[in-house]
Structure 1
Amino acid sequence: MRTAVKVAIGVGAAVVVGGAVVVTVGPGLYADWANSRADDAPALTAPEQVTDADVLADLDGGWAVAPGSYAGYRVHEVLRGADVDVTGRTDPAADDVTGALTVADGVVTVAEIEVDVAQIVTDQPPRDAYFRDTVMEVGTYPTASFELTEPVPIEAAGSDVALTGDLTLRDVTREVTVTAQIAVADGGAQVVGSVPVTFGDFGVEAPSLGFVEVEDAGSVEFSLELQPRD
Structure 2
Amino acid sequence: MITSKTRFTTLIALFLAFSNLCVAEANKEEWNLPVQLNDQNASVLFEVDSTWHLVVGKTSGVSGSASLTDKSNPQSVSIALSLPIKQFDTDNSSRDERMREVMFAETYPTVEFTGSGLTGNCTPALVISDGSCNDFIKGSLKITNVEKEVSIPVTISYLQSGSFQVEGAYAFKWGDYGVEDPSIIIARLNPVVTVKFKISLSQ
Corresponding position: 1:143 with 2:101: no
Q: 2:197: which partner in 1?
A: 222
- Relative contact order, higher structure (CA 8 A, sep 6+): 1
Distance 2:47 2:200 in 1: 20
* One of 73, 85, 88 as aligned partner of 2:46: 73
Instruction: Answer yes or no: is the 8 Å Cα contact 2:46–2:196 preserved in 1.
Output: yes
For residue 172 of structure 1, what is the amino acid of its counterpart? V
Identical positions, percent:
23
SS at 2:34 equivalent: strand
How far does the alpha carbon of each residue in 1:182-222 deviate from its partner, in whole angstroms, 9 at most, with x for none?
23443543322121111121112324455422111111222
Rg larger in structure: 2
Correspondence 1:1-230 to 2 at 5 A: 57=29, 59=31, 61-68=33-40, 69-79=42-52, 84-91=53-60, 96-103=61-68, 104=71, 105-132=73-100, 134-152=101-119, 153-155=121-123, 156=127, 157-185=131-159, 186=161, 188-227=163-202
Distance 1:102 1:62 in 2: 4
For residue 44 of structure 2, what is the amino acid of its counterpart? A
Distance 2:181 2:173 in 1: 10
In structure 1, the gaps of 5 or more residues are 1-52
For residue 73 of structure 1, what is the amino acid of its counterpart? F
Which structure shows the higher strand fraction?
1
In structure 2, the gaps of 5 or more residues are 1-24
Change (3 A) 1:113 1:150: same
| Alignment: residue pair count | 167
